[in-house]
Chains A and B, each alone.
Chain A
Amino acid sequence: MPEPLRLQGISASAGYAEGPLFNLDRGPARYTGKATAGEEKAALKAAIASASDRLATLIETADDEAAGILEFQLAMLEDDALTGPAFVAIPSGVPADMAWRQALDAEIAGYETSDQDYFRARAADMRDIRDRVLRALTEEQESAAPAGAILYGEDIAPTRFLETDWSAGGGIALRAGSTASHVAMLARSRGVPMIVGLGVVGLGSSPANPNGLALLDAEHGGIVLAPSKAEIETFRRSSSSFAARRDKAEAYLAKPAVTRAGTTVRVQVNIADPSEVDGIDIATCDGVGLMRTEFLFGKAPPDEETQYRAYRKVLEWAGEKPVTIRTVDAGGDKPVPGFTVEESNPFLGLRGIRLSLARPDVFRVQIRALLRAAVHGNLKVMFPMIAVTEEYQRAAALFAEEQAGLIARGIAQKMPPLGIMVEVPSVAIAPDAFADVAFFSIGSNDLTQYVMAAARDNAAVAHLNSVRHPAVLRLIAAVTAFGLRAKIPVSLCGDAGGDPASIPALLEAGLRDLSVAPAQLAMAKAAISDVAV
């Protein structure tokens, strides 16, 4: 498979950056061992002192927020409980670099496995401390990124962020990362564009165009490598209007969305990671229109407790407002090791509900977690990639079976309303076959790519991939009209819902319920206020 040219992640700090890519992930430098344990200890001691000095220097010029982060790192380095185990290991023949790495990795593992987002996000600070001392040990200089570069890699250290000069622009694109990390907080407060969660595929160690121009669209969470001339022009237009649009839109954030004609539109948010809700004021939206669950399946299918806690966190945050959770939509461009299968044409293969029904062992765990979490708020559940009614009936039957099991065991549970995504054309063309579902949610990204037969991640056919093509809009209007007749609520949760250019057409098609990325909430409301419907 060729390296994709357009990659999708999650926006951690909205904005635009255009510049060369700079790889953050360098191999570790070599450490030259010393003759005696005494010298090894002295080398480590000197390296820790040098790292502490550097932190103290950074603190002098840092603002309050940055200083808080740096002081935490400094306090850690000054704590014998952190550094002690390394010094204990050295006399038994372990070189200083390995002793330090082992001691810190043990501490980092404790943070990485925490069930609280906040503590998990601190693992990045601990890795920063580890690498800072290792660099001092090997006397390796951190190579500076060129001005205006887009820094990409697995994750980025807070001190790296603080040492980078952002005055010439630039941004951050991470394969892993978290919207709750210290760097994400800093990026938001300083207006540095940043996306996280690009995943294991793409932006690999050897991207298609290692030093060429890349376009970072952290408003929508995407990055384009090796862009075409047309893509660069479109990007520059969005980029230059961004600041003005954002400033104007901020005034709309706190108000309900109403069109020029006085029509009220519900605006919910799409989230991909429970920690995202920490940065959103629930009063500014009408609930969660789409909570993805793929993040939980990053490396392997998660256990029931992990899922239950993630769902419950978002439900409790939303209070009485609805939270629509989508059962796992793995497959397609979202592979999960040990769960998805290798296919030559994954977008037309075993993905979404098809995969869940093929792997009931994994699906039942998610169902139990959802049934249990449902008692903590206003939960709705939807199934992705439904093509025929039998899939919905089989999924609903599994919910009923698992509910009976929980009741028999005396475990608190509640059956949520069960709805479906409208993204396979068979459903959009004949929605009347689904008169017994609780709600429809139009997945405009997939619906568009299947109707137009144009992949989302292929720049060569990007001109075909438009939700505003009459064929796509006609299907959306037909589904909305059917929902009105059959009294089945219809919403839309694709990227089009937050796109100011598409919002007028969607409202004209009859939609009154949109779900958008949190970063687009204000601008979507502003765009709605301009529509005459």
Chain B
Amino acid sequence: MKRLSTLALIAGAACLDFGVAGTALAAPSCDGAIQLGSVSTITGPVDFSDGPKGAKAVFDQINEAGGINGCKIEYTMADDKGDPQVAAQAARDLIDNKNVVALGGGASLLDCAVNAGTYKRNDVMSVQGVGVDPMCFNAPTIAPVNVGPYTLTTAMLDYASKELKDEKLCTFFIVLGGTQEAYAQAVKRWEEMSGKKIHLVDMTLPLQGDLTPYLIKARDAGCDAVLTNQVEPGVVQMINTADAQKIEGIDWVFLASGYTEGVAKALPNTKQPVYLGTEWEPYTETNEANADWMATMEKAGLPKTAFSQGGYLAAKVLADMIASMDGPVTRERLGAKLLEGKPMKYSIAGSEYVFGDAAKHAPMQATKVMALSEGKWVPKSSGWYVLPAAN
């Protein structure tokens, strides 16, 4: 009994100690609400709104609980409509009129490409939710929380070579905008890492059109694995065409852009081996790592998609960064804090997130590999497939 009360005393003292230290350590202060925002493609050719909505859900939850040390967050979701001019205007509005202290949680086709210069000139840091274009991974003031198609290309080539034991690796890319060089770089990185040579690189895959000639080309070139950056409908088309051509013995490898339940459901009967790499903890899995994200989305009444994981994670990063600050939360001070480059660990991602002071950022270097099985995506292993750090 005596021992128990001693324990209780120690525990109580520890709590007290922690509490005191907690308040003394860091306390952000604010004058009015903290302004945050993002530029995303919401209407237009694609709807990426799940990204910023996921971020907003996190901030709403924080505000409901009283804010960060009493500071409420006001989050503005701007829509770039997939249009460069609108994207540029949206960024200026956020920076000049809304006076955002940082950007985060955005998911856009072209925000980085259009606005990287603006962000740099205004010293605005952007924690991109889902970075798509190459500029997202090549700018000093942008650091996405997703792995991105280029790093994933390298990772999946490595996976096919090491884990699937494929010898002849072939790649077919749809090239949009300035992505050709980024994909070429990604393939080159794998070649340098592995000391192997890519068997075939084709940068002419059409966005629309018949894929039969390309699949025949891959087959006749003797490819063991074919990696492409197809988006959802393209993945389905490719596998259906492979089935129609009775192609066997090729591992079909895709990037996160093919990872949706729609794709799995549209391919219920195929026997083709289909793999892809995810950006984060697979969103189709209900597990510990996804628990907080799932609860947040459920509370906000949002669908659970991979994009919302990106928005969620970016918002967590920003909120935690702000919470660790001492004193007023301004653009300069939050920017400086991000540039310090303190690694941040979240269960939903395989790498530690680091912003840091660098000319370009691609902190996320880990993926989980999923395989298609009877109309469902199934994890290949419980662990992360991690690339050695980018140089």
A and B bound?
Answer: no
B residues at A contact (CB < 8 Å): none
A residues at B contact (CB < 8 Å): none
